[in-house]
Every structure is written in C-alpha cells, then in structure tokens.
Structure 1
Amino acid sequence: MDDRQSIDLAAMLCSRLCHDMLSPVGALSNGLELLALETDPEMRANVMQLLDQSAKISTNKLKFFRLAFGAAGGFGDQVDVEEPKALIQALVADKANVEVNWALAGSTMAKPAVKVLLNFAQIAIDALVRGGTLDVGAEVRDGATEIVVRATGPKIAFDETIGKALDGTLDRTELSSRTAAAHMIALLAQENGGGLQYHRSADALVLGAVLPQSGDLIG
C-alpha cells in the first residue's frame, strides 16, 4: 500500500470513529446544557442518569477503537481474551435483542487476531438490524489462529462493498468510512500471511479468518 492509500485509509478510519462517537458525545453536551437550566430535583436526577449512560457508552467505544483500530500500546503482543470479550459485550449492552455466545479457546490471543475479531464483531452486530444471535469463536490450531464470527437473525443487513474489502477486491474509489475497517483487517491479515473470508445468506452472515501464529506478527 502506497503513502496516498495509507493516508486515505487513516482518514477514513478517523471518519468512522468520529461518526460513531458523535451520538454519545452529543448526548453528553445536551445533558450538560439541560443540567445547567433544570432546577427540578427529579428532572436533574434523570439528566444525571443520561449523562452517566452517555459517558459509559463513550468510554466503551473509545476502548474498542483503541484496540480495534489503533496501536494499542498498552498491550503486549498477546492480549488476554477477556479484553476483546468485554469490549464486544459492551457493544451489545444496549441491544436487548442480541444474544452473544462465546467459544474462545485459550487465555490469550495475538494482537492482530484480536483486531480482526473485534472488527468482525462490529460488522456482525451492524448486520443484526432486527436483533438475533452473535456467535464469537477463536482457537489456535496447527500453528494458526482461526476466527469465526456468525450473525444470525430475521434480517441481515450487509453492504457488499464491505465484502469486497474483506476479500481484497475493493476498488480504491470504494474506500469509505463504511469500508475502511474491513479493508484495514484485510491488509493486516495479508501482511501476517493469513486471509479472510465471508458468506452471507438471507438470515446469516459468517465471517472467518486464519492468521498464522509464527513469525514476526504485524499489528
């Protein structure tokens, strides 16, 4: 990837982060304005609850993006599986109609694998527009980390350009804030000698990845 493409990808990832952060941060701003004007104790208590909720959502999203998109310098090459598990659980905390099932073998995962897992989960959650089940699995087998994330529900929403980004057929003109994360993990998998794949049907989206464990991992 040349310098221009690197800059474009970084810009699109920043756009995605800003888009996702706009709602909870905006709610914080609105809540503070209401708090400054409101004198009724009960209403002030409701506003404080809103502020607390928005602050938690903002914090969870920032933690997610730090590990899913960023360098995540606070982590070593291996990440405790409880970290991505907690971040994914936070993403669905306000989605009562989404059930999560876990099948994470081992106590740690390589950082590139964690990035792929988190971004797969985000794509799968976005696909469950009417709720459903999110199955998240990962294990090390034959020297490679195998990851499978499956979204199953009554309606699956999936932009085919995201699929192109995952399988490496995305045209440069199709790079956007919507496809940037998928494009990033496709490059990450390629640089680490692995690959991604996906399959979509009317009621399911399956995302899979294989990432070698050996060698100098990038990510």
Structure 2
Amino acid sequence: MTDASTDLAALLCSRLCHDLLSPVGAFSNGLELLATETDPDMRQNCIELLEQSATISTNKLKFFRLAFGAAGGFGDRVPVEEPKALIESLVRDKGRIEIRWALATANLSKPTVKVLLNFAQIAVDSLVRGGTLDVGAELRDGASEIVIRATGPKIAFDETIGRAIEGSLHEGELSSRTAAAYMINLLAEDAGGGLQYALHDDALVLGAVLPEPEGLIG
C-alpha cells in the first residue's frame, strides 16, 4: 500500500470516527443515567435516548459500510433499495429535507453505489436549513449516470470538496473533510468516468458518469 493510500484510509477512518462520536457518546451517557436514575419517567426518557442513539449509530455504520467499505455480502451489483434506504435514514436523522426519487434501474455496481452515497452525504450536509433532495440514477449506453440536486434557502458547500470531486485539490487540502470526495474521484477515474458539480445560490448539483464493466449490467 502506498503512502497516499495509507493517508486516505486514515482520513476516511477519522471521518467515520467523527460522525459516530456523537451518537455513541449519547448512548454512553444514556447508560450512565439509566444506572443511577430511579424515577420511572426519567428512566423511560433514558431508554428512548438509548434507542434513538442505537438506531442512529446502526444507520451510520450501514451507510459507511457501503459508502467507504468493501460491502461484503453483496455481489458485483447492489440492489438500489439498499442505497435508497440508507439515504432515507441519513435524511431522517437530519430532518426538514424532502427526498424525490428518480431511480430508473434495479441495481448498480459497487463503485456507482459509493459515488451515489457520498454525493448524497455531501448534498444533505449542504442543506443546513432544510430543502429538497432530488436523487436520480439510470443506466444509459453502457454507463451509470447519477444526478443529485440539493435545493434550499441556504446552501453550505466548501469548494475544497468541489475541487476534490473534480480531482483538482491544492497541496495540503486533502483532509478528513475532503477525503470522501477525493476517494470517489479516484473510483470514477479508475472506471474511466468522471464527476462534476455546479453550485448556485439556492442549489448544489452533483453529477457522475461511470462506464459499467462489460457483462455486469443488470
């Protein structure tokens, strides 16, 4: 493994740990409260906190398994119901975001799923005041095409992430914040495809075209 690959793996691990710290910490706090609390109503509140934290932690681990990991348990292609459910859980944890789907295929390759999930994470993070998330994917002329559009009253988007998406990061800009975008740019290059984005005052549009390996189109 090269130094660059090691650095990328370490940064992705840092991102995962950062995102899991809050729900796991809340779970730990809930256990401590439950161990000392005697009031029935307060104990019920603790149990609800534990259930919520456990659900969020589980959803995040499932998301990262497909977005960053090898996604063991699946073949070469993943049913679209899997990333769809993960994106829905991601939005549910954030709130105030409506999803509109346009998925015109039954399954996608693992690299395409990684791009789709990471695009969704970037788009959801940009909707700091809520809004609408349009998610589209289809197979056309031997390639997967993905478009995700985040529309809302305020779009928060760090353009270093945009440079990571396009493969034009400046020296020193690879960090835990940009690692996921950098990773999917590498995946797209390896597949012979490409990624792009467009930023407007009220919208962020993320697009990808990834040629499918011959014989694996479902």
TM-score range, shorter chain: over 0.9
Whether 2:6 is the aligned partner of 1:3: answer no
Return structure 1 stretches of 4+ with deviation > 6 angstroms: none
Q: TM-score normalised to the size of structure 1?
A: 0.96
Tell me the equivalent position of 2:88: 89
After superposition, the C-alpha distances for 1:55-112 in whole angstroms (9 at most, x for unaligned) are 0000000000000000111111110000000000000113331000000012111111
Tell me the equivalent position of 1:171: 170
Quickly say closer, same or farther: Cα 1:181–1:205, change in 2 above 3 A.
Answer: same
Q: Which amino acid aligns with 2:30?
A: G
Mapping of 1:1-219 within 5 angstroms? 3-215=2-214
Aligned residues: 216
Rounded to whole Å, the distance in 2 between the matches of 1:5 and 1:59 is 30
Rounded to whole Å, the distance in 1 between the matches of 2:203 and 2:179 is 22
| Equivalent position SS for 2:72 | coil
Rounded to whole Å, the distance in 2 between the matches of 1:88 and 1:176 is 24
| Equivalent position SS for 1:173 | coil
Rounded to whole Å, the distance in 2 between the matches of 1:187 and 1:3 is 14
Percent identical pairs in the alignment equals 74
Task: List alignment gaps of at least 5 residues for structure 2.
Answer: none
Rounded to whole Å, the distance in 2 between the matches of 1:37 and 1:147 is 50
Rounded to whole Å, the distance in 2 between the matches of 1:178 and 1:72 is 22
Whether the 8 Å CA contact 2:56–2:93 is kept in 1: the answer is: no
Rounded to whole Å, the distance in 2 between the matches of 1:51 and 1:204 is 36
Rounded to whole Å, the distance in 2 between the matches of 1:73 and 1:164 is 30
RMSD of Structure 2 on Structure 1 (CA): 1.2
Report the Cα offset of residue 216 of structure 1: 8.9
